[in-house]
Amino acid sequence: MSTVAFYTLGCKVNAYETEAIWHMFEKAGYTRVDFESDADVYVINTCTVTHTGDKKSRQIIRRAIRQNPDAVVAVTGCYAQTSPAEILNIPGVDIVVGTQGRDRLLAYVEEVKRTREPINAVTNIMKTRTYEPLSIDKYTERTRAFLKIQEGCNNFCTFCMIPWAKGLSRSRRPEDVLAEARRLAQNGYKEIVLTGIHTGGYGEDLEGYALADLLRDLSRVEGLARIRISSIEASQITDAVLEAFAATDKLCRHFHVPLQAGSDPVLKRMRRKYTTSEYARNIERVRQIFPDAAITTDLIVGFPGETEEMFLDGYRFVEAIGFSELHVFPYSRRAGTPAARYTDQVDEDVKRGRVLQMLGLNEQLKRRYRKRFLGSVLTVIPEARATEERPGTTVENGKAEAGEGSVLLSGLSDNYLRVRLTGKNEWIGELVDVRLDELTEEGFSGTPLGVHDGFVLVDAKQGAL
Ligand code: SF4
């Protein structure tokens, strides 16, 4: 019985692709082992969003080779796509396959086992117009299922390497997305997270079928309770998408809308597809449908040419939007992108100072948003046992009491609030109604009121409510 181990760097799309690649090995009779243990095959799914991603990828590759020098070492993902020669120069690497053609990885592994000749299977991704046929029907360690619907990006923001690593935007066939959603629902997944490089761009390359249509069709999938969109560009929040938002009763009230900068001159140099007023208007339109929605975002601080005034404009704009959480990144100069050649780079110390200010604002905004839900009851999907266990806790009349067989669980509400509760192992992956009793560092701790059984609320003790 051959063994295979995986290591995934980067984003949700990479997590999905690793799972799909594992499915192929599983069907071929392989056993999955930990990356830290000896394996016959190692697959490393790399990231190149920053130089750190490249460096970390090389470290992981070398770790696999040291772990078992006789193993077949296969490297895939964005760094493999953009720098195959660099990777093949690492002694011990056998296969490099970029961000396309992973469906042939098993065949490459068998070939290397025979010939021990390295294989460079990287193709010109900018010429690719077809969506790669990878699929899944379950996850090894997840209760919320990422469902990849789209690949690539046509935007070419001046700071971003991704279009060069992933190619132009390509949508997955709707029937394949729906079939996968049904399989996931049949396998007990209550929530799917629609994932892609440019998720909101779904359908731009399809005839008469776009994200709005997909949301409607997905909301009819039996057994699915929640549909989360991993990310959507402000420029893609169209009338049709907003109508679909309003019509999709399973849509999570959580919208990750990357802003990147809150100053128009900076947005222009980033080549973003919206202005601050267009961004604000679209967020307002989302809030008209979902007044309590969690709006999260990505922010790049210290982009070349960003003056103190532009930064403060951005700070005030972010505060005015009232995000529920910010992901703040210092601008990272990425060779191969236009912005890396800009001469007015911002000093690293200045960048660090601005990041700290934005992180301070993030704490305020998070607290302000969370406070609104203190004492309310939200449905949570426990994902796993939280770190510490409180032995002897049981649930009496919905209240957590000390007793045998209870564990501390952690999960997310539809509006992306992290909640801890005391409950039972079998609640993992289920829909649990929880009263949010206390604010905590990561979100809330709460009292479970009942578990949805096929969407009927069942009191932990009394049965259906
Ligand atoms: S929209 Fe811009 S930042 Fe996002 S993947 Fe495309 S090029 Fe990169």
Please give the pLDDT value at position 280.
98
The superfamily CATH assigns to domain 144-371 is: tm_1862 like domain (3.80.30.20)
Say if strands 377-385 and 432-439 run parallel, antiparallel, or are unpaired.
antiparallel
Please give the pLDDT value at position 465.
43
Distance CA 407, CA 209 (A): 45
Residue nearest to atom 8 of ligand 1 (CA): 160
Ligand 1 center to 272 CA (angstroms): 9
**Nearest atom in ligand 1 to 272's CA:** 2
Looking at residue 263, the DSSP 8-state letter turns out to be: S
**pLDDT tens digits for 290-341?**
999 999 999 999 999 999 999 999 999 999 999 999 999 999 999 999 999 9
**pLDDT tens digits for 363-383?**
999 999 999 999 999 999 998
pLDDT in tens, the chain (465 residues): 899 999 999 999 999 999 999 999 999 999 999 999 999 999 999 999 888 899 999 999 999 999 999 999 999 999 999 999 999 999 999 999 999 999 999 999 999 999 999 999 999 999 999 999 999 998 887 788 999 999 999 999 999 999 999 999 999 999 999 999 999 999 999 999 999 999 999 999 999 999 999 999 999 999 999 999 999 999 999 999 999 999 999 999 999 999 999 999 999 999 999 999 999 999 999 999 999 999 999 999 999 999 999 999 999 999 999 999 999 999 999 999 999 999 999 999 999 999 999 999 999 999 999 999 999 999 999 987 775 544 444 444 444 444 557 889 999 999 999 999 999 989 999 999 999 999 999 999 999 998 876 544 455 444 444
Ligand 1 center to 156 CA (angstroms): 6
The number of angstroms, rounded, from the C-alpha of 66 to the middle of its chain's C-alpha atoms is 30
Ligand 1 center to 127 CA (angstroms): 18
**Residue 324 Cα distances to 11, 115, 186, 229, angstroms:** 21, 54, 33, 16
Within 8 A by CB and 6+ apart from 165, the residues are 48, 78, 79, 81, 82, 98, 99, 125
Q: Which residues pair with 74 in a beta bridge?
A: 43, 95
Say if strands 377-385 and 407-413 run parallel, antiparallel, or are unpaired.
antiparallel
pTM of the model: 0.92
Within 8 A by CB and 6+ apart from 33, the residues are 3, 4, 5, 39
**Nearest atom in ligand 1 to 197's CA:** 5
Ligand 1 center to 258 CA (angstroms): 10
Domain ranges of the chain: 3-123, 144-371, 377-458
**Nearest atom in ligand 1 to 163's CA:** 7
**Nearest atom in ligand 1 to 273's CA:** 1
Q: Reduced to 3 states, what is the DSSP secondary structure of residue 321?
A: helix
Within 8 A by CB and 6+ apart from 18, the residues are 6, 8, 43, 45
- CB-based pocket (< 6 A), ligand 1: 153, 155-157, 160, 162-163, 197-198
Contact 18, 43 (CB under 8 A): yes
Choices 3.30.1490, 3.30.450, 2.40.50, 3.40.50: CATH for 377-458: 2.40.50
* Long-range Cβ pairs for the range 56-59 (8 Å, 24+): 56/9, 57/9, 57/87, 58/87, 58/90
Helix (H) or strand (E) segment spanning residue 113: helix 105-115
Distance CA 171, CA 187 (A): 24
Name the fold adopted by 3-123: Rossmann fold (3.40.50)
Contact 289, 263 (CB under 8 A): no
Q: Looking at this protein, which amino acid is placed at residue 416?
A: Y
Distance CA 275, CA 278 (A): 5
Alpha-carbon Rg for the chain in angstroms: 23
Calculate helix-pair angle for 105-115, 12-27, nearest 10 degrees.
60
Residue nearest to atom 1 of ligand 1 (CA): 155
Please give the pLDDT value at position 141.
72
Strands (E) across 360-417 are located at 377-385, 394-396, 399-401, 407-413
Contact 137, 176 (CB under 8 A): no
Please give the pLDDT value at position 406.
82
